[in-house]
Structure 1
């Protein structure tokens, strides 16, 4: 795909995302009633608060998270010299999920500072294990993918078994794993 076509595709996707976000925002509140800056909750209606403190920040965070995830995938592919490398293929996502499930069930106190540090630790452990296995074969791309898939499948299987056995306690974690941007608490 040429650079011009790729740029056009990315611009089209961004325009579609903005159009969908605007449609959701306008459905919630007409443009004339949108809150002005600075946002003052004391002078705002409930719908203005929902728009200013709910929909607007989530839209920005969703775009930023998508951009960062794309960048992380591109970095993994470049560093590992493997065009199919991504956090899922290398078991990193499953390691984060397993760490969260285990912490939620066995050590909920670890989650007091938020879920992100626990997820990061699980992802780092999974990545370290994949890198340790890959180091034995000089980080050959095929070895890295196979090691990542094995680590990922194992971590995912254990996390799924734990989730199924303790499902009533892990509903918010299931929603979080799905990447929902809604607030649960």
Structure 2
């Protein structure tokens, strides 16, 4: 009996300690995100002192430095929002598929959105921002269903390895189709190729504003799916035994991830590996509970994409590398590490 009382008193203490540790990590990540946002405003072709950057944030626009900061504000905002969307969507996709390799880029969702946009531009002449966003979301959703269907064929259903292979094959095929669609249109080929790399350069508030509603809905749906994703992690049969509607849980969470991927691709182009790297890193900090993992993945994605944008500006001054290139350089080796760690026979 004394042992039982000791355990009963210790467990709440452990839960409180874990929650306190997570809150400390949350505060640290938010502080890091704020620091990187300030550095993003100050660093570029022309470096601006932080004091001058703060003056620009307060509305001053009388010096060259302050004018430079004013043009970087929407770029920094887009990097934060897009990174958060990609990090969160990656965590949701990994939870829905129970696949450690799930990522909007690896599963082909981003390139599917890109192909849909390119076809709509070349064949149907769409020009409005809303049309771009809806088309990208439609393409992302259709590709996600296709890849999951192909990966589910055969024995064992949708295993992580089969989904990764189906996504890789789809990405290669769709990339070739993008080139085939754009090739006859020399007038837009340069712009499409630049957009295909994935980046946040040239962002304006007018370009960002139409996508915010779609991202807000995607964020809300995804974050509200945390409890359902915890149930799915137990397995479909056990989740159903606990009263969870498995099909609805998987579909609703997937909808949130698709909205985030499609809307982000529409405004930034396809940016890979953020949704793979960030959730794995965040699990080391907060564990597998999606109620903590999802918001941490959003903050971590914002940090990674903002940092990648800063690195891209510093690496090729006075020119710059697009964030899609930087995240690929980070994510490629990480993907290989995950595959080797999980062992191919276990995927």
**Greater mean deviation of Cα atoms: 158-167 or 95-104:** 158-167
1:140 maps to 159
Instruction: Say which of 197, 211, 233 aligns to 1:178.
Output: 197
Tell me how far apart the structure 1 counterparts of residues 177 and 75 of structure 2 sit (CA, whole Å): 31
Tell me how far apart the structure 1 counterparts of residues 50 and 148 of structure 2 sit (CA, whole Å): 52
Residues 1:169 and 1:46: Cα distance change in structure 2 (over 3 Å): farther
Instruction: Say which of 151, 155, 172 aligns to 2:174.
Output: 155
Query: Aligned pair 1:67/2:87, yes or no?
Result: no
Tell me how far apart the structure 1 counterparts of residues 189 and 32 of structure 2 sit (CA, whole Å): 34
Residue 127 of structure 1, CA deviation: 0.9
Q: Assess if the C-alpha contact under 8 Å between 1:172 and 1:184 holds in 2.
A: no
1:86 maps to 103
Residue 89 of structure 1, CA deviation: 1.5
Q: Which whole-Å deviations, capped at 9, do the CAs of 1:62-98 have from their partners, x for residues lacking one?
A: 1221122111111111211111111121111111111
Residue 177 of structure 1, CA deviation: 2.4
Tell me how far apart the structure 1 counterparts of residues 145 and 31 of structure 2 sit (CA, whole Å): 38
Q: Assess if the C-alpha contact under 8 Å between 2:106 and 2:167 holds in 1.
A: yes
Which SS does the other structure have where 1:27 is aligned?
coil
Tell me how far apart the structure 1 counterparts of residues 57 and 150 of structure 2 sit (CA, whole Å): 55
Instruction: Say which of 17, 27, 30 aligns to 2:47.
Output: 27
Which SS does the other structure have where 1:170 is aligned?
helix
Residue 100 of structure 1, CA deviation: 1.6
Structure 1 unmatched runs, 5+: none
The root-mean-square deviation of aligned C-alpha atoms, in Å, is 3.4
1:51 maps to 69
Which SS does the other structure have where 2:43 is aligned?
helix
Tell me how far apart the structure 1 counterparts of residues 190 and 111 of structure 2 sit (CA, whole Å): 17
Tell me how far apart the structure 1 counterparts of residues 35 and 153 of structure 2 sit (CA, whole Å): 46
Q: Assess if the C-alpha contact under 8 Å between 1:98 and 1:156 holds in 2.
A: yes
Instruction: Say which of 112, 115, 120 aligns to 1:103.
Output: 120
Tell me how far apart the structure 2 counterparts of residues 55 and 23 of structure 1 sit (CA, whole Å): 8
Higher relative CO (Cα under 8 Å, sequence separation at least 6) belongs to: 2
Residue 44 of structure 1, CA deviation: 4.2
Which SS does the other structure have where 1:86 is aligned?
coil
Residue 14 of structure 1, CA deviation: 3.9
Residues 1:123 and 1:143: Cα distance change in structure 2 (over 3 Å): same
Tell me how far apart the structure 2 counterparts of residues 85 and 158 of structure 1 sit (CA, whole Å): 23
